[in-house]
Amino acid sequence: QSNFNQKIDYVFKVVLIGDSAVGKSQLLARFSRNEFSIESKATIGVEFQTRTLEIDHKTIKAQIWDTAGQERYRAVTSAYYRGAVGAMLVYDITKRQSFDHVARWLEELRGHADKNIALMLIGNKTDLGSLRAVTTEDAKEFAQRENLFFMETSALDSNNVEPSFLTVLTEIYRIVS
Ligand code: GDP
Ligand code: MG
């Protein structure tokens, strides 16, 4: 793939939020580089990854921001949200607490982000179905109530990773175009 002289029509900043260890960094690795690592280290230094794709014959550069482990200290700052047109709020389907915290993340997001931001709830780690602690129905119901898109994914086996990012990016495109 040659990026030489590629004309970019839009750059969309999308932020990943949610509790530590839910799989945000691996979802991003899967989407941006088609990679996954079991021994994922807390991201240090790297602020975002990009991937360029086509939506509706337009060239979109998706700039996906990943928290550098600050979620543990609740120090995700307004700079992180600044300019974001999309957000993916991730929980782990095997960790009830990470789902219970979604409401808190949503509150923080709504306090910092633009009103028109495209929001998606992601239940990650579907490959660990036998350890499931959050039903699809509970999450779906929450998402409907809060007016969020919703999908379950696995960064490990790639289930729904591409469709979930595409859903957010397409919704952003719909909002801005
Ligand atoms: P973050 O703190 O939200 O960025 O979470 P990471 O992406 O660092 O992932 C935390 C741990 O969960 C790592 O050991 C990952 O390998 C693992 N992990 C991430 N996504 C998945 C997934 O879809 N399935 C499984 N089984 N493990 C995952
Ligand atoms: Mg991370």
What pLDDT does 74 receive? 55
Instruction: Round to whole Å and give the CA distance between 118 and 106.
Output: 12
pLDDT in tens, the chain (177 residues): 555 667 999 999 999 999 999 999 999 999 998 888 877 666 555 589 999 999 999 999 999 999 876 666 556 678 889 999 999 999 999 999 999 999 999 999 999 999 999 999 999 999 999 999 999 999 999 999 999 999 999 999 999 999 999 999 999 999 999
| Closest listed ligand to the CA of 67 | 2
CA of 4 to the centre of ligand 2 (A): 30
Please state the pTM of the whole predicted model.
0.93
Contacts of 11 (CB under 8 A, 6+ apart): 60, 61, 63
What pLDDT does 40 receive? 67
What pLDDT does 2 receive? 53
Both tokens of 156, joined, read 């490990």
Place of tokens 């993340």: 105
CA of 97 to the centre of ligand 2 (A): 17
What pLDDT does 148 receive? 97
Both tokens of 87, joined, read 């957000």
What pLDDT does 78 receive? 80
For ligand 1, atom 15, which residue shows the shortest CA distance? 38
Return phi, psi of residue 61, to 5°: -100, 110
Instruction: Round to whole Å and give the CA distance between 65 and 25.
Output: 9
CA of 25 to the centre of ligand 1 (A): 7
For 158, what's the count of Cα atoms within 13 Å in the CB-facing half-sphere? 7
What pLDDT does 141 receive? 98
Both tokens of 162, joined, read 């591409």
User: Ligand 1 within 6 A of 94 CB?
Assistant: no
